[in-house]
Chain A
Amino acid sequence: MSEGPAIGRDEWVARADEIIERHRLLGLADRVPGWARLLAFVVAVAAIPLITDDGYVNSVVFDTLVFCLLALGLNVAVGWGGLLDLGYIAFFGFGAYTYAILSSDKFGLHLTSPLVLVIVLVLGALLGFLVGLPSWRLVGDYLAIVTLFAYQIFISVVTNGHDLFGVDLTGGVNGISNLDPFDVFGFELPVSHRGIFNSNYVYVALVLFVAVFGALHLINHSRIGRAWRALREDTLAAELMGMPTDWLKLLAFAFGASVAAMTGSLFASLKIGVFPETFSLTLLITVYAMLILGGVGSQTGAVLGAVVVYVFLEALRNADVSGWVFYLAVVLALLYLLRPRWMVGVVLAATVAFGFVAHAVAGAIDESWTAGAPPDAGAVTRALDVWVAIPASPGDAKPVAYVVLIALLLVSTVVTGVWRYALLVPTLYLAAFVWETVLAPQPDVTRFALLGALLVGIMITRPWGILGERRVEIV
């Protein structure tokens, strides 16, 4: 890709040779049939509430399933249809608000949840048709920007929906509270059972997950699924083959929207209320990161990406765990990027040595430069206190260190040979410093900054994700 403009070379032919290399482990996973992978996943998830009755763990499992569903839905429009839909979260929000309106004290409606799901399925598909309509005239980034406008309209309506020509529809910024819990024809599932999270919600989500996964799998292997892929690879050629491309685009939008809307209803049934700020762009980027990491176009990939990213994001929240996750991720990234592999050991050993020297020098110059970690820090931070020089009040050092770290990381991607290894040593030490002073104390921001960086990193190193479909695209 870095050879400059490929003049006189047929891009199509050039790209056809570009075979996505798969790791041995992934090759092994390929040989396991799809139904067996799904079964293994379902059994594993279903077993968790049986093993532990920890409410937190079970609620994380539930949220992970919600994200799996969202990633599966996004995969329809983005992965199969090749349509960049930046308004996707609006469908999720639409489903949640519809549940809130149909099943709360707001309008005195208390419909049973399966009925709500069916209504949301239909309305979501209609909304998908509507938002997808511009795809008849617009493609690519123009379509992306119009869907982003649609999302803005959704947010604007929801935020100001407490006074739509005198009608209070959405409760404005206060949202809608006191939603009914999920119920099946009168048989209610209370949100918390004896004060802890009701693990039955995991099973409700799992049932919906299996239904959606199976339905989408069947569609993907039907005429429509094949037509979608043709549409994605070359819309013009597909049209010339007689495929109704306009309707296929709408179908892709509608299927994605229905899945997102149903997921929204499921999500709302568990939460106390629905509020505009839940449906933020952060959520959109998170779902995109999941799908892209897992592999655009692959259902297994979407689920894998959702599980990895969500567990990663949750782990970063917890001070005791986040340190482990961060340092482990650094080592894994080095193992993935550095060749030969034994250089990783050399670099890490040099970093450790460098750290002790730096710590000693900093301590000798001024005691307060190594004054140490805050008392509420996690176990890893306390353990590393002898190695990372953490000043008593980092203050201005924080932004400088952060910017220098990013600069060093970027430079280390362009320098080659021994310089790269030499540069990596101070970079890694600085990374530890920045982690301990800037990143670890603000987990809620850090995890999303890392997500953004991850998105760029995947796009550059492996745009097809872990399990993405091999595709030949005409540029």
Chain B
Amino acid sequence: MDYDKLFQTVVNSATLGSTYALIALGYTMVYGILKLLNFAHGDVFMIGAYVGLGVLTAAGGPLDPSFSPWLVLVLMALAAMAACALLGVSIERFAYRPLRDAPRITPLISALGVSFFLSNSAQLLFGAEHRTYDTFNIAGGKLYEPAVTLGSFSISWLRVITVVSAIVLMVVLWYLVTRTRIGKAMRATAIDRDAAAMMGIDIDRVIMFAFLLAGGLAGAAGVLFALRTDLFPQMGFTPGLFAFTAAVIGGIGSIPGAMLGGYLLGTVEALTVTYVTVWVGLPVGLSNFVIFSLLIVFMLFRPQGILGRPEIRKV
């Protein structure tokens, strides 16, 4: 047994899972309240990555930043979160709010349109070519140096930062949702929108707040994700799809479910790429085949997810 490979797979699962969990939270919050599959969420995440790139460039680029590279990283994340929160709220205001009482398929198609518009707009403005944060040069390669060493195993700063900041954000979210007034209003709206409105909750504000949180998390996830991969206008699609699935697996509408699902899916992906394809003898490129087949089977037998409650169809 190759323990080093196993250890790397576990670390990989945690990093992938953190990003998926952050995006999945956005899907689950919006779905919980609006019963809308927000297809555009993956593209909000992509915009976040590009905003991060913009801040990095404005700060002088990775090689020669005008101030501390750690501060630059924090600024990148904050700017991306702010921009994406604003973007999320405007999408809700202009593309979904007019359709709130329409049949469910209508906002879904509107969401597809927004998604398509955002990814093509990004291509118009930033070009189709792959860009990168050039993470290897941020802080002189410090991000790739081991932060934690356990015997012969080590974890790089990059992965520690990704996992820790994701967990911090999730704790903040947990606090906002369970311990504040607006959080309580959000939960009430998710349970029954009409009843919440009758209790005097401002539904529009609650929905806006959900999109604000969702956008902020997606922006942070975009920067964290782009530290490890390339940026390109369609980069939001696959992580978006995986994160949505993570939300479904965890039980859509359930916030702990989204976190659980995110890490679970990260693990499944990391394991499939490293092990399953080898055992079955499939080419590595077919790992998506395995993942999506498993997902279809899961959806068929437990569409309400692990922590979700089955949706009762009312006549």
Contacts and interface: CB of A to CB of B under 8 A. Distances in A.
A157 B292 CA distance: 11
A325 interface: no
A156 B288 contact: yes
Contact of B123 (A2, A82, A399, A445): A445
A201 interface: no
B102 A1 contact: yes
A287 to B, nearest CB: 12
Contact of B109 (A82, A282, A292, A398): A292
Contacts, number: 161
B59 interface: no
Interface in A410-454: 410, 413, 438-439, 442, 445-446, 448-449, 451-454
B285 A455 contact: no
A150 B296 contact: yes
Nearest to B128: A445
Contact of B104 (A141, A159, A289): A141
B120 A449 contact: yes
A288 interface: yes
Nearest to B107: A459
Chain A residues touching B, majority SS: helix
B115 interface: yes
Interface residues of A, number: 60
A165 B281 CA distance: 7
B137 interface: no
Interface string B104-139: 111111101111111011011110100000000000
Interface in B154-180: none
A449 B117 contact: yes
B248 to A, nearest CB: 7
B103 interface: yes
A413 B94 contact: yes
A137 B315 CA distance: 17
A54 interface: no
A380 B112 CA distance: 32
A402 interface: yes
B269 to A, nearest CB: 13
A159 B286 CA distance: 9
Interface stretch (B71-79, B140-148, B191-199, B257-265): B191-199
Contacts of A43: none
A153 B297 CA distance: 13
A163 B282 CA distance: 9
Interface string B22-40: 0000000000000001000
Contacts of A445: 120, 123-124, 128
Contacts of A82: 105
A146 B37 CA distance: 13
A141 B95 CA distance: 18
A169 to B, nearest CB: 12
Nearest to B313: A236
Contacts of B128: 445
Interface centre among B101, B113, B281, B300 (most CB of A within 10 A): B113
Nearest to B109: A459
A368 to B, nearest CB: 22
B116 A455 contact: yes
Interface in B21-62: 37
B296 A149 contact: yes
A6 B101 CA distance: 9
Contacts of A453: 113, 117
Given A146-B296, A413-B94, A460-B98, A451 B116 contact: yes
Given A138-B303, A163-B283, 17 more contacts: A2-B98, A5-B203, A134-B299, A138-B300, A149-B299, A156-B285, A156-B286, A160-B286, A165-B281, A402-B124, A439-B124, A445-B123, A452-B120, A459-B107, A459-B110, A475-B101, A475-B103
